[in-house]
Amino acid sequence: ENRINLLGYSVDALTMEETINKIEQNIKHKSQTQHVVVNASKTVLCQKDKELNKILNECKVVNADGQSIVWAAKLLGKPLPERVAGIDLFLNLVELSETKGYNIYLLGATEETVKKVNSVLKQKYPDLNIVGYRNGYFSKSEEQDILEDISSKAVDMLFVAFGSPKQEKWAYRNLSKTNALFCMGVGGSFDVLAG
C-alpha cells in the first residue's frame, strides 16, 4: 500500500499520475470512492474535529495539497513523491472525463458561480458530459431532491464545493445516496474557475 500515516491521518504517497490511475481503477471496479485533499489548515482542523479526522482516515484516496505537508512528510522520514493540488487534480479529472466519456456533476458555490463553471468547462471541453449542476446553498428539505437528481443520473464523478470541513462531511454522509462512483471536495476551485 502507498498509504502513510502522518500528523494523525493517512495520506497516499502517490504522484498526480498514480492518483488518476487509482481513481480510474476504482471507477472501473464500481468501487465508490471519496477523495480528499489535506493541507495545513485541514491538519489543524482535524486536531479538534474527530469526525473530520475519521473521514480523512476512511477516504479511499487522500492527497497532500500543500508544500508544508510534503515537507513535514520528508522530515518525518515518510516522503511523498509530490504535491497533488486539488484544483490541478480536478481539472485533470475533467479532461480525463472528456476523453473517456465519464459524466460529471458539479455541486456547490453560488448559482452564478456554478453556472459560470458549467459554461467555462463546456467551452474548454466541448465533448465533456456535464449531467447536472447545482449551487451549494440548499435547505435540508431541498437536499432530498438534489440527492435524487444526482442518483438518477448515474454520475461517474461528483465535484462538491462547500469548503472544508462541510464538503468532506457532506460527501461522507451522502456518497452512497448519490450513487456517484467518485466524489471529490474541491473547496474554492469553482470560484477560481469562474474568475
Q: Under 8 Å CB-to-CB from 182, ≥6 apart: which residues?
A: 23, 26, 27, 32, 33, 35, 93, 156, 157, 158
**Minimum CB distance to ligand UDP smaller for 153 or for 165:** 165
Strand-strand pairing, 157-161 and 33-38: unpaired
Q: Are 128 and 122 in contact (CB under 8 A)?
A: yes
**Minimum CB distance to ligand UDP smaller for 38 or for 161:** 161
**Residue of the chain from 97, 181, 187, 193 that contacts ligand UDP (CB under 6 A):** 187
Residue 75-114 contact track with ligand UDP, rule CB under 6 A, x = bound: ---------------------------------xxx----
Q: What is the DSSP letter of 62?
A: E
**Minimum CB distance to ligand UDP smaller for 27 or for 93:** 93
How far is the CA of 152 from the CAs of 47, 130, 131, 180, in angstroms? 37, 14, 10, 10
Q: Which helix (H) or strand (E) holds 24?
A: helix 16-28
Residues 147-186 that bind ligand UDP (CB under 6 A): 161-164, 166
Distance of closest approach, residue 23 Cβ to ligand UDP, in angstroms: 20
Residue 129-148 contact track with ligand UDP, rule CB under 6 A, x = bound: -------xx-----------
The contact set with ligand UDP (CB under 6 A) reads: 108-110, 136-137, 161-164, 166, 187-188, 190-191
